[in-house]
Amino acid sequence: MIINCKYCNHNYDITDKTLLDERIEMTKGERRAILRLIYFQCPNCGEIKPAMLDDKKSLYYAKRKLEAKTESVKRKHEERFANVRKKLIDEWQGGSFELAGVIHTFELNPDEEIKHQ
Ligand SMILES: [Zn+2]
């Protein structure tokens, strides 16, 4: 899978150096929350691109999914996990967070096409 940097138009692979995660404080209006941001970082210009967002609830379902002993239980938790993640993206769209001293706006289009090699 190839990621395109919208800032410098550089195309890069997903590796453990370009796909990262960090605990962040997200704010939107009066609301704030501690979340886990999973993001891509362009190796050319250093710009970041949010990939996913987790909170306690989604991480809980992710854990339950791994621990599930039957397929149906696994599927149930998988569904809840996906729903929570989807809600988080909607909920925090346009929010702000700080990463390495820089304030970013959270923008994530889950339907955005990611180029396949
Ligand atoms: Zn770039």
pLDDT value at 111 more than 80 = no
Q: Are 28 and 96 in contact, with CB atoms under 8 Å apart?
A: yes
When divided into structural domains, the chain yields a total of 1
82 found inside a domain: yes
Reading the block at residue 21, the tokens are 């995660």
Ligand 1 mean position to 42 CA, how many Å?
5
Ligand 1 mean position to 9 CA, how many Å?
6
Ligand 1 mean position to 48 CA, how many Å?
8
Domain span at 61: 2-104
111 found inside a domain: no
Comparing CA positions, the residue from 18, 15, 21, 49 lying closest to residue 35 is: 21
117 found inside a domain: no
23 found inside a domain: yes
53 found inside a domain: yes
Ligand 1 mean position to 51 CA, how many Å?
15
Ligand 1 mean position to 40 CA, how many Å?
10
Task: Kindly report, residue by residue over 72-89, the tens digit of the pLDDT.
Answer: 999 999 999 999 999 999
pLDDT score for 115: 46
The secondary structure of residue 22, as a DSSP letter, is E
109 found inside a domain: no
114 found inside a domain: no
Q: What is the mean pLDDT of residues 90-101?
A: 95
Q: Are 32 and 25 in contact, with CB atoms under 8 Å apart?
A: yes
Task: Kindly report, residue by residue over 47-60, the tens digit of the pLDDT.
Answer: 999 999 999 999 99
92 found inside a domain: yes
pLDDT score for 112: 66
